[in-house]
Copies of this chain bind each other. A is one copy, B any other.
């Protein structure tokens, strides 16, 4: 079976496992009092070219997002995001729970990206200062989006500009931020603080780590709250050094970007193959900017594929395909062949 369900199903990258093993020496203070965690702040400052950024290792993307947001909004605030955002659709209300009842409000746009005009219009209608209405407090962007599409740095800056004019903060859900940075060919700073972002959920798990994510904070007031919020959420693990070791290895020597470049490249190859199957009723439903494709094809073809390729079926006639750091060119070639076979045979 060829694995294309999710980058979440992949294993741990050898470099990261090695770092984890290397950290298993001697004793060290618990709860982040160790040297590896202290060092992680420096790593993050270097990689993000920011003098005071701070990193909070947590163990899941949901934790990263909801804790980051809870430290950025008052309980009576509203977090604005695209209706397709993971924080709304797939985190069980974590943001409202940690946020003390803060709400999430959708702002639409094509390609799963927030449209600046719609954002502006939504904010123009707000009765600012009126306690009867939840007050927009944070703009949360997903990069790449849950449909695998990207904002460019200048597009991010336009959105954050609109939000910041109203005193809002900006969060980026970067569960796959490495794929975004690798695809955009920009610096990590370009899609974060230089573009007006205050706090980033830096994903690592989908891209080779073992339940290690980090909240990267560019605003000290948010970081100061996170010291307490992470602890009382049970997200300050006692053996944090093993998470810090992973994130450090991940960000060192551009490992994160190399791993992401592989999954992006593999998906590009697969997408090219799929595009060539247009005559047989195959259609890419969305831009393929990173390592994810949504594809429409005859239901009989999907049925036929199900025994050879692992993927998420979105409907009778559509599927989501995701490559990972582990996906090989052979996997993709094989998958492409299966797709071709399935649609030509059943077409």
What residues make up the interface of A, taking CB atoms closer than 8 Å to B?
Answer: 3, 5-6, 8-12, 17, 20-21, 24-31, 58-64, 66-67, 74-76, 78, 89-104, 129, 131-135, 205-206, 210-211, 225, 227-240, 242-243, 310, 326
Name the contact of A131 in the complex, choosing from B58, B95, B231 (C-beta under 8 A).
Answer: B231
Q: Does the CB pair B31–A232 fall under 8 Å?
A: no
The 3 closest A-B pairs by CB, nearest first: A63-B234, A97-B101, A131-B231
Q: How far is the CA of A29 from the CA of B103 in the complex (A)?
A: 27
Q: Does the CB pair B133–A90 fall under 8 Å?
A: yes
Q: A97-B75, A133-B92 are in contact. Are A234 and B236 (CB under 8 A)?
A: no
A–B Cβ pairs within 8 angstroms, 27 of them? A8-B30, A8-B31, A11-B25, A11-B26, A12-B242, A17-B21, A17-B24, A61-B238, A62-B234, A63-B233, A66-B234, A75-B93, A75-B97, A75-B232, A76-B93, A91-B132, A91-B232, A92-B133, A94-B234, A96-B103, A97-B101, A100-B100, A103-B103, A211-B240, A211-B243, A233-B234, A234-B235
**A223 to B: closest C-beta gap in Å:** 12
The chain B residue sitting closest to A64, CB to CB, is B234
Contacts of A74 in B (CB 8 A): 225, 228
Q: Does the CB pair B234–A89 fall under 8 Å?
A: no
Q: A98-B101, A326-B27 are in contact. Are A205 and B238 (CB under 8 A)?
A: yes
Q: How far is the CA of A248 from the CA of B133 in the complex (A)?
A: 28
Give the number of copies in the complex: 4
Q: Does the CB pair B238–A60 fall under 8 Å?
A: yes
Q: Does the CB pair A31–B228 fall under 8 Å?
A: no
**A217 to B: closest C-beta gap in Å:** 15
The chain B residue sitting closest to A134, CB to CB, is B93
Q: Does the CB pair A59–B96 fall under 8 Å?
A: no
Q: Does the CB pair B235–A76 fall under 8 Å?
A: no
Name the contact of A233 in the complex, choosing from B78, B233, B243 (C-beta under 8 A).
Answer: B233
Q: Does the CB pair A9–B29 fall under 8 Å?
A: yes
Q: How far is the CA of A5 from the CA of B238 in the complex (A)?
A: 13
Contacts of A326 in B (CB 8 A): 27
Q: A239-B8, A326-B27 are in contact. Are A75 and B63 (CB under 8 A)?
A: no
**A83 to B: closest C-beta gap in Å:** 10
Contacts of A232 in B (CB 8 A): 62, 66, 75-76, 91-94, 97, 101, 131
Q: Does the CB pair B59–A211 fall under 8 Å?
A: yes
Q: How far is the CA of A31 from the CA of B31 in the complex (A)?
A: 24
